[in-house]
A and B are shown apart, each in its own frame.
Chain A
Amino acid sequence: MSLRTAARAFPTLVRIGFSEALAYRAELLIWVLSTTMPFIMMALWTAVARDAPVGRYGQEGFVGYFLATFVVRQLTGAWAAWQINFEVRQGTLAMRLLRPISPIWSYAAENLGAVPMRFLVGVPVAIISVLVVGPDAVPRQWWGWPLLALALLGGWLITFLANVAIGTMALYMESSQKLMDVWLVLFFVFSGYMYPVELLPPVMRSLVDWLPFRYQIGLGAEVMTNAHSLPTALKLLAGQWLWVLGMGALAVGLWRRGLRRFAAYGG
């Protein structure tokens, strides 16, 4: 299909994705409520920092950081892997394939449709964070804001594309759910979701820069809480967008090959 058709149809797709998100608001709320990890981690780390700060992070620092991870997690969420896995198993992927637009676009639109609702949750938390922690809870410099937006977009793209790549594996194996679980485990360890990545032991810290996970959550939260100078932030953003490209190539490649398999074996 032509990219132009896809681009023209995309706004409508997103709008309908948003209507769907509205219809599922109760579930979205449950999803939001199940994002308890940052709060538990906040309790834990403030307990750790009770007597003396850990690295640069005092109790307030941790509160700011974990509220930021909550906001970033809300805004960069995607669940396409579950969708694709489910639709491959149910055979309803066929309905999407009949349409003259790549299903990846429709998955992207449906996932993006939920962003406004998630924004409604994220913004108050960010405001609370400013009230509790002070101005360090959000970017201080003007350049922090565009960089934050870029980091969030990049984070969402990595998450979404990884979801597509993993979901697509359902076309190769019976269920890609388990693969997603493995991904999630690595995500928890390396993304900065459970602790700021700079607190990791030195060996792991250098490893983390090469993995995609910290660019999903950690980078956004760090930019939001002013952890980096402009040059460092730019360097990390470059790394993030390299991962966006890499993950995009991987996802599209797996998808194309998977579809050929799907067509050979049937749904």
Chain B
Amino acid sequence: MLRRYLRLFGVQLRSSSLLAMQYRGDFLLEGLISIFWTFTALAPLFVVYQGRKAIAGWSFEEALLVVGWFTLLQGVLEGAITPSLNGVVDHIRKGTLDFVLLKPADAQFLVSTTRFLPWRATNILTGMVIFIYAFHQMGRGPSLPGLLAALVLLGTSTLLLYSMWILTVSAAFFVVRVDNLTYFFQSIFDAARWPSSVFKGALSVVFTFIIPLALMTTFPAQAMLGRLPLQALVAAVAGAIAFAFLSRKVWLRSIGHYTSASS
């Protein structure tokens, strides 16, 4: 069973790579864009830290770690999660989701693995460069347990992102034409660029519990700095699993609700 799904995964990954190679212009630009995006993530940071030592308890270098995590997760989001799930929205609109549902494999798995943008892996490299630079500036390295915790959090963050996407896409079953849900999602995710302690009041509640952006970028950065309490780590893992569980339930329910668009 698992081997079959792994093989399926391989096939889908290969066809995405083929597709990616077809567009020459895109290919070259894509690399540039990745770097540019990172630059945008950094530009306001430089502007903000002009003449300021720390903001909301975060020094420039520490905030840089958050940006590093943001860059990394953006790569995961745009390279592995968004492309496929955008396809679902298309399927729903065109009424072709039926074909997916007819196939003898789990629908959520199938729709989640249809398309990858392999060159988004550049984001992971950029993230690494940022981490190294930030620690170099601080004149120290991350603690080993901190690094391990950060790796665990990379897993939970990916899971969280994916679950949130599944929830967003599930909305597409109920509303007509939601191509721009992607933009909605990405614009919210954009807030994860900043340490969560920047946000006060209602926004802070929203970004911790409802859209757990804080868990995705601020927690791993704190873990690397060795500042993340153990309870927070446990809470993040438990929260991510609960979120994934919830999104699976919602997905199944939405599929049940789905009626093919007439043409």
Contacts and interface: CB of A to CB of B under 8 A. Distances in A.
A177 B26 CA distance: 8
Contacts of B176: 26
Interface string B39-50: 110011011101
A182 B190 contact: no
Interface string B2-39: 00000000000000000000111110011011001101
A167 to B, nearest CB: 15
A36 B39 CA distance: 20
B9 to A, nearest CB: 26
B194 A40 contact: yes
B184 A189 contact: no
A31 B37 contact: no
Judged by DSSP, the binding face of B is helix
B45 to A, nearest CB: 10
Interface stretch (B95-103, B197-205, B238-246): B197-205
Contacts of A182: 29, 32-33, 36
B50 to A, nearest CB: 7
A43 B205 CA distance: 13
A178 interface: yes
Contacts of B26: 174-175, 177-178
Nearest to A176: B25
Interface stretch (A158-166, A194-202, A226-234, A244-252): A194-202
A199 to B, nearest CB: 6
Nearest to B179: A27
A30 B199 contact: no
Interface string A15-51: 0000000001011001101111100110111011000
Interface string B167-181: 000000001111111
B5 to A, nearest CB: 31
A105 interface: no
Contacts of A27: 177-180
Contacts of A31: 180, 183
B190 A175 contact: no
Nearest to B26: A178
A179 B36 CA distance: 12
A48 B52 contact: yes
Interface residues on A, range: 20 to 34
Interface in B151-186: 175-181, 183-184, 186
Contacts of B191: 36, 40
A178 B33 contact: yes
Given A30-B178, A181-B33, A182-B36, A43 B188 contact: no
Contacts of B37: 185
A189 B183 contact: no
Contacts of B30: 178
Interface in B47-67: 47-48, 50, 52, 55-56
Contacts of B23: 174-175
B231 interface: no
B50 A36 contact: no
B56 to A, nearest CB: 5
B48 A44 contact: yes
24 contacts: A26-B175, A26-B176, A27-B179, A30-B178, A31-B180, A35-B187, A37-B190, A40-B191, A41-B44, A43-B200, A47-B55, A47-B200, A48-B48, A48-B55, A174-B24, A175-B23, A175-B25, A178-B30, A179-B29, A185-B39, A194-B47, A195-B48, A199-B50, A200-B47
Interface of A: 24, 26-27, 30-31, 33-37, 40-41, 43-45, 47-48, 173-175, 177-179, 181-182, 185-186, 188-189, 194-195, 199-201
